Amino acid sequence: MLKVDLARLAANRRVSIDVAVPADDPAWTGTELALAAPVEVRLVAERTGSDAVVRGSIAGAVKGACRRCLKPVRLRFDEPVTFLYRSGMDPAEAVVQEAYPVPARAREIDLAEALREHVLLAVPAYVLCTPDCRGLCPICGVDRNAAECACEAPKGDDRWAALRGIRLE
């Protein structure tokens, strides 16, 4: 599914990949991603000498809880991607050149690792329901987006009081 046959790529010079990777696919194992829908993958692989360049886009949706108010959130992502596959490279050299190594005598290129990496980079680490979410009151727990509370803000930690008087000028 997420593999490019190198013989077909050499013959055609261009191969299109248009798949939907399900949310329960083994590619997402260990990522802690909560995908709300399949990841739509639209790529074109092209041969450039002994290398292969894969360009296109990935799109999908993740679900989670707002970091501030804990409401359920569904967030879409749609990212352009480019993967460079080079033959004759060891993995350490590939990292330096920001490429993916193609093993000697390989018959196909597996796109799963590159796809997984780019989906993890496309998804924000912290989800917010809105950029101006006011969150929950740390004292009474009321959702400050829906109602006001009468709680007073904490005065601060007295252990740091001596540092408040320092003037850096």
**Counting beta carbons within 10 angstroms of the beta carbon of residue 67, is it exposed (0 to 12), middle (13 to 18) or buried (19 or more)?**
middle
Tens-binned pLDDT, residue by residue, of the chain (169 aa): 689 988 898 889 899 999 999 999 988 988 888 999 999 999 999 988 878 999 999 999 999 999 999 999 999 999 999 999 998 887 888 888 889 988 878 889 999 999 999 999 999 888 899 999 999 998 899 999 999 988 887 777 788 888 888 888 7
**Helix/strand/coil for 6:** helix
Task: Count how many Cα atoms sit within 13 Å of the Cα of residue 123 in the half-sphere of its side chain.
Answer: 24
Query: Is the pTM value of this prediction over 0.85?
Result: no
Per-residue pLDDT, 166: 87
